[in-house]
Amino acid sequence: MTRSSAREIAVHIIFALSFDTRSAQEILEAELNRERFQELAEELPLYAQFPNGKQERYIRDLVQGVFAHGPELDDCISRYSVGWAFARIPRMAAAVMRTAMYEVLYMPDIPNAAAINEAVEIAKKYEPAEVVSFINGILGTFVRAEFEDTPPKPEKKVPEEET
């Protein structure tokens, strides 16, 4: 499993959080196990392989981090989505942006450009082109505005298969 696949699984779980009253930990226990992956793999090839220990920690860190920082991330989305009420943003688009913003703010080993690019690639699978453009615009504006006075995170080249 690649980091891209692990990130997409995290986005699925973060998306599920928007419909559920359970905590991130409860949803992770229900969704991030071999039995659930076997069920989902029948319809979604993404779940054909269970994550290794490092990938599972990455998924858990993302989901728990987004859950813990949800209001802050939603505030960022609202500030940068000029002309859109947060309630109007599709839930999958919000999950994708929350994930990318969390990576930018709290995961220094992930380059900002990689977080944005991965978010756009995931969004292309679930949203129409105009929503993908909207996501790309918000994330780009967010990074430029929030980090204009700080040096960019160093580009760390990690082969996809290594994670």
pLDDT in tens, 81-104: 887 778 889 999 999 999 999 999
Cα 24 from Cα 65, distance rounded (Å):
9
> Residue 18's pLDDT band (boundaries 50, 70, 90)?
confident
* 156 pLDDT more than 60: no
> What average pLDDT does this structure show over 139-160?
68
- In the chain the domains, ranked by start, together with CATH numbers, are 3-162 (1.10.940.10)
> What average pLDDT does this structure show over 103-113?
94
Q: Give the CA radius of gyration of the chain.
A: 15
* 158 pLDDT more than 60: no
pLDDT in tens, 39-51: 999 999 999 999 9
What is the reported pLDDT for 146? Answer: 86
SS3 state of residue 137: helix
Any residues with CB less than 8 A from the CB of 108 and at least 6 apart, and which? 153
With beta carbons less than 8 A apart as the criterion, state whether 127 and 92 touch.
yes
What is the SS3 string spanning 71-131?
A: HHHHHHHHHHCCCCCHHHCCHHHHHHHHHHHHHHHHCCCCCHHHHHHHHHHHHHHHCCHHH
With beta carbons less than 8 A apart as the criterion, state whether 81 and 142 touch.
no
